[in-house]
A and B are shown apart, each in its own frame.
Chain A
Amino acid sequence: GAVVSQHPSRVICKSGTSVKIECRSLDFQATTMFWYRQFPKQSLMLMATSNEGSKATYEQGVEKDKFLINHASLTLSTLTVTSAHPEDSSFYICSARDSGRDEETQYFGPGTRLLVL
């Protein structure tokens, strides 16, 4: 159990386009999901906390108009990188907490590798 999927797993796009990444909890409900960004050989950097039915909470330094987050259901959160530029190229990982359990464990998706040309 506790599987999180991400789609797409890899995307290449031109500079100036927008890219949407989906994060789904497959066998549990998640009122809270998290979006992370990871540069090569670096740790995970929390970008924002996605809350079902309300606005996302962004970490300091993360532009909310650049990285749009929508958590429209208990099993789906989306991250849209708007007007992507080469510096947005990175590995984006989502995680989710199981709302039905009183535990803090985050279950991670497999990640999405974004390359902006």
Chain B
Amino acid sequence: EDKVVQSPLSLVVHEGDTVTLNCSYEVTNFRSLLWYKQEKKAPTFLFMLTSSGIEKKSGRLSSILDKKELFSILNITATQTGDSAVYLCAVGLNTGNQFYFGTGTSLTVIP
């Protein structure tokens, strides 16, 4: 059975801290891994990763994929209260158009 697991489930940090969120997967026919940020409503796209070892960066956020060890990390440096959200990773397979979402990590950044 295909599986996407995120850790930790929740995290509370102070503004300015750096956080690392993990996403591990066990799927057949892996194609891509996507990271999303979900605040009150629908998720917003952050990154898509298809190749190992290539870091994707956007401001204070960065992400990298390890296809050998089957995981990805999302880093957020100098966290701000606006980073508080649930971060979701999703894995796409070669066998179809579907994406399967992980459990999510709830991040709370306190002033």
Residues of A within 8 A of B (CB): 32, 34, 36, 41-46, 49, 57, 59, 93, 95, 97, 103-111
Contacts and interface: CB of A to CB of B under 8 A. Distances in A.
6 contacts: A46-B99, A95-B42, A106-B99, A107-B45, A108-B42, A110-B41
DSSP majority for the A interface?
strand
B48 A105 contact: yes
Given A42-B103, A45-B101, 20 more contacts: A32-B97, A43-B88, A44-B43, A44-B101, A49-B96, A49-B97, A49-B98, A57-B96, A57-B98, A59-B98, A93-B43, A95-B42, A97-B97, A103-B48, A104-B48, A105-B34, A106-B34, A106-B99, A109-B42, A110-B41
A15 B87 CA distance: 33
A78 B32 CA distance: 27
A95 B44 CA distance: 11
B94 to A, nearest CB: 11
A14 B48 CA distance: 41
Interface of B: 31-32, 34, 36, 41-45, 48, 88, 90, 92, 96-104, 106
Determine which residue in A57, A93, A104, A105 has the highest number of CB atoms from chain B within 10 A of its CB, and name it.
Answer: A104
Nearest to A108: B42
Contacts of A108: 36, 42-44
A46 B101 contact: yes
B85 to A, nearest CB: 13
Contact of A104 (B31, B88, B100): B31
A107 B45 CA distance: 8
A104 B101 contact: no
A107 to B, nearest CB: 8
Contacts of A59: 98
A74 B102 CA distance: 29
